[in-house]
Amino acid sequence: MMFPNWAKNILFLLVYMISGLILVIIIEGLLSGTDLIPLNTAIESAVVHMRAPLLTSFLVLVTKISDPFLLSSLAVLIAALLIMRRNVYDAVLFLSAIIVAIISLTVLKNIFQITRPVSDIYSANGWSFPSGHATVATAFFFLLSLTFFSRMKTAGRKVALVLGSILAAVLISFSRLYLGAHWTLDILAGIALGLLSVSFTVLMFSVFVENKRSLRNRINS
């Protein structure tokens, strides 16, 4: 069953507002220099005690195959396949949301220029805040569920798609924290930014594209 457009808009507006609020709280905590910083230290200490050789090898693999460039390339491939199936709207929405996420991520990284934590098991380059892996993975798998949910024929497949997407995004985000490539706040901000980017893009498309498309379809019918 398809959600009516107004219900979908309310849902994405809530996601937009909540993720935006979380991102603002994190940024405010960083700027204050005191409120949320102890969270970074406490969780980093807890994660260090979880490390084991086999788990480390697995999460290094996870973080390598989920590189933002690779996920962005996969997004282009998915968009191309959607266009081949005449789903231009979904294809453009998919790519647009990924682009919004990447641009937002790049802007925030260059504004804050926070250095990464020191890790003895993994080396990463660039600024730390927010996490690029967490941002792009969250946006990508959110879009994957959004795009293909209605195409799943059974409830079981729909649940598998959503749960699989959540698990993949969480695993990728955790891999960055576990390997010491990011602080906890980097990961949380990346997840919030990914949700914010997708919900913002969906709302913009709904207001400026979908409504006009629906009106045109009604006129032509």
Q: Is a pLDDT exceeding 50 seen at residue 216?
A: no
Confidence of residue 212 (pLDDT cuts 50, 70, 90): low
Task: Calculate the dihedral angle through the C-alpha atoms of 76, 82, 85, 86, rounding to the nearest 10 degrees.
Answer: -100
Q: Is a pLDDT exceeding 90 seen at residue 194?
A: yes
Q: Is a pLDDT exceeding 50 seen at residue 1?
A: no
CB 210 within 8 A of CB 5: yes
Q: What is the pLDDT of residue 45?
A: 80
Confidence of residue 211 (pLDDT cuts 50, 70, 90): low
Distance CA 38, CA 40 (A): 5
Q: Which residue has the higher pLDDT, 211 or 49?
A: 49
Q: What is the pLDDT of residue 221?
A: 38
DSSP tag of 180: T
Please tell me the number of Cα atoms within 13 Å of 48 on its side-chain side. 11
Q: Is a pLDDT exceeding 90 seen at residue 47?
A: no
Confidence of residue 37 (pLDDT cuts 50, 70, 90): confident
Distance CA 221, CA 215 (A): 10
Distance CA 118, CA 181 (A): 8
The pTM of the whole model exceeds 0.85: yes
Distance CA 100, CA 106 (A): 10
Q: Verify cis geometry, omega within 30 degrees of 0, for the bond prior to 130.
A: yes
Q: Is a pLDDT exceeding 60 seen at residue 104?
A: yes
Q: What is the pLDDT of residue 219?
A: 32
User: Between vectors from CA 115 to CA 121 and to CA 34, what angle results, nearest 5°?
Assistant: 110
- What percent of the chain has a predicted confidence (pLDDT) above 70? 90
Task: Calculate the dihedral angle through the C-alpha atoms of 182, 195, 159, 85, rounding to the nearest 10 degrees.
Answer: -110
Tokens 């491939």 locate to 77
Q: Which residue has the higher pLDDT, 174 or 35?
A: 174
Q: Is a pLDDT exceeding 50 seen at residue 44?
A: yes
Q: Is a pLDDT exceeding 80 seen at residue 72?
A: yes
Q: What is the pLDDT of residue 3?
A: 59
What are 20's two structure tokens?
């935006």
Helix (H, G, I), strand (E, B), or coil: what is residue 128? coil
Looking at residues 51-57, what average pLDDT do you find?
A: 92
pLDDT digits (tens, 9 = 90+) for 116-157: 888 878 888 888 899 999 999 999 999 999 999 888 888 899
Distance CA 90, CA 28 (A): 35
Mean pLDDT of the chain: 88
Q: Is a pLDDT exceeding 70 seen at residue 4?
A: no
DSSP tag of 117: P
Q: What is the pLDDT of residue 220?
A: 35
User: Between vectors from CA 163 to CA 175 and to CA 24, what angle results, nearest 5°?
Assistant: 60
CB 108 within 8 A of CB 217: no
Amino acid, res. 78: I
Across 41-67, b (16+ Cβ under 10 Å) vs e yields eebbeeeeeeeeeeebeebeebbeebe
